[in-house]
Amino acid sequence: MLIYAPYSQDGQNITVTGTSGELFDLVNTAQGTNIPYAGYKSFHDAVIITVEGGSIRMGYGVEPTAELGTVLNRGGSYGFVGTSITNIRLISVDGSDSKVSIQVGDSAAGESNWVSFNGPFDTGALPSDGKTLTMEAPTADTEYAFQIPEGTSKLTFKLRDRNVDFKYALGSAADAGILSTANYSQMNGGDIYCEDGLDVSDDQYMYFSSTDASQVGELIYWVVN
């Protein structure tokens, strides 16, 4: 990812409130401007969002609410690359103001689309020694679960069919059924979910469901030695 300097340094630190706001509008507010794309270019296709305050939700081309939208957790850094970022909207989960820092730029050749990291964002390649688990998901809108191996430090998850949307959530065995609540995140077809900085116990699961039937979920994980 090639990062571009903001129009004003103040634009790197925005405030997300309990009212849904478009990313560039929030940048304009932070830097006290009212200019197209907050001084960036309309064709930028990558952004890193670091949540310093309370958790927020993101909508892409739709209005997120406190209950609906992709969750960006407090303390996490999330990179979204390879697609237009002009339609990103953000809202605070609990209605209070949340401090968020951003870096805007362009994707580099070969970077994955819509990759998020619940931990320090690392644009480097993932290690090559990951192990792969697969699970068939024969029925649409039905929850399936991987048990994440103990000691896992990072993981990625995707559907092999890149045209199918999916939901996901992490939790314990007691959280079975979580996808029928509001405590899940939504990913578009072709998205890859990543999580870094983990310290998995023996009771951690990746729950997922797909919008279409006859799918295969693929979980790649790395274990600390």
Give the pairing of strands 13-16 and 56-60: unpaired
C-alpha angle 93-97-100 in degrees, rounded to nearest 5: 85
Same structural domain for residues 93 and 178? no
Answer yes or no: are the C-beta atoms of 143 and 184 closer than 8 Å.
no
The one-digit pLDDT tens for each residue of the chain (225 residues) are: 677 888 888 888 999 999 999 999 999 999 999 999 899 888 888 888 888 888 899 988 788 998 888 888 777 778 787 777 888 999 998 889 999 999 888 876 655 555 555 444 443 444 556 789 999 999 999 999 999 999 888 888 889 888 898 999 888 999 999 999 878 888 877 777 877 777 888 889 999 999 999 999 999 888 865
Has residue 123 been placed in a domain?
no
Q: Determine the pLDDT at residue 119.
A: 45
pLDDT reported for residue 24: 93
Write down the pLDDT at residue 81. Answer: 77
Q: What are phi and psi of 115, to 5 degrees?
A: -105, 130
Q: What CATH number is given to the structural domain containing 194?
A: 2.60.120.380
Domain-terminating residue out of 117, 143, 168: 117
Answer whether residue 124 is part of any domain. Answer: no
- C-beta of residue 177 within 8 angstroms of C-beta of residue 220: no
Instruction: Say if residue 41 is in the same domain as residue 142.
Output: no
Same domain, 70 and 139: no
In a domain, 126, yes or no: no
Bridge partners of 164, per DSSP, are none
59: its two tokens: 């909508």
Give the tokens for residue 54.
């309370």
| Residues ≥6 apart with Cβ < 8 Å to 46 | 1, 2, 79, 80, 81, 82, 85, 104, 105, 106, 107, 111
- Domain holding 216, by residue range, is 131-223
Count of structural domains within the chain: 2
0.85 surpassed by pTM: no
How many other C-beta atoms are found inside a 10 Å radius of the C-beta of residue 215?
21
